[in-house]
Amino acid sequence: MSFELDKIEKFKTIYELNWHKIKGFDGCIHLELLQDNQTPSIFFTYSYWKSEKHLNNYRDSILFNTIWTSTKVLFNQKPEAWTLNVLEF
């Protein structure tokens, strides 16, 4: 996610007020917020979910919709999201 510099603190406040709700959502195993070292306007959320179904339940929730509505107006570029599989050897 990329934000205008003057919107970063607003985003951090939204995240700080909601991270415990996301982390407590059924199926969320791990949640982190990461900020790019070289470009401080770029952030990533990094989360582990028990299953894709759990993640989709979160994405379909009122909680996600509320957070997304307040966050998407702060972006300065279209956000990207990836769902990844862990490869085990």
pTM of the model: 0.86
How far CA 2 is from CA of 13, 20, 39, 74, in Å, comes to 16, 22, 9, 8
pLDDT for res 70: 96
- Write out pLDDT tens, residues 64-84: 999 999 999 999 999 999 988
- Neighbour-count burial of 77, counting CB atoms closer than 10 A to its CB (0-12 exposed, 13-18 middle, 19+ buried): exposed
pLDDT for res 46: 95
- Write out pLDDT tens, residues 13-66: 999 999 999 999 999 999 999 999 999 999 999 999 999 999 999 999 999 999
pLDDT at 85 over 90: no
Domains belonging to the chain, first-starting first, are 5-72 (3.30.70.100)
pLDDT for res 86: 85
Are 4 and 41 in contact by the 8 Å Cβ rule? The answer is yes
